[in-house]
Homo-oligomer: A and B are copies of this chain.
Amino acid sequence: MKTLKYSRQRESIKTCLMERHDHPTADNVYLSIREEYPNISLGTVYRNLNLLVELGEVRKLSFGYGPDRFDADLSLHYHFVCRECGCISDLPLEPSAQLNEKAQCCCQGHIDNHLTYFYGVCQDCLKKNSH
């Protein structure tokens, strides 16, 4: 098996994700990290983000508007996506803790997680539209 070795770059990526709560894209992370490691490569960012997702330390958010986003907040929470500007924000709605178990009852595979995206129009876009 392939054993994991420490890397400063990966630690920095993880720290970056834990500090910012704006669901950054891989490129957003890359630009942040470059301030500390000016010659980190974008491939390294992607490789480590995918690794962190596999390790379960980070979540990848795919919701159909623009590139994937990454989130180190593993607490149970949902997201809201604006169909007009593509922005994404946390939704402090308490998710049903037993939802995975409920879903498991009607699924022959093994379920261990779920992601919910609410779609609509964000406050800013609603304002713009009313002008």
Q: How many residues of A contact B (CB 8 A)?
A: 36
Cβ-defined partner of A126 (8 Å) among B61, B109, B120: B109
Q: Is B126 in contact with A118, judged by CB distance below 8 angstroms? A: no
Query: What is the minimal beta-carbon distance from A107 to any residue of chain B, in angstroms?
Result: 5
Residue pairs across A and B with Cβ atoms less than 8 A apart, 17 shown, are A62-B62, A62-B63, A62-B64, A91-B107, A93-B102, A100-B118, A103-B118, A107-B118, A108-B122, A109-B121, A109-B122, A111-B118, A111-B120, A114-B117, A114-B118, A114-B119, A116-B116
Tell me the A residues contacting B by CB distance below 8 Å: 60-64, 68, 78, 80, 82, 91-93, 96, 100, 102-103, 106-123, 125-126
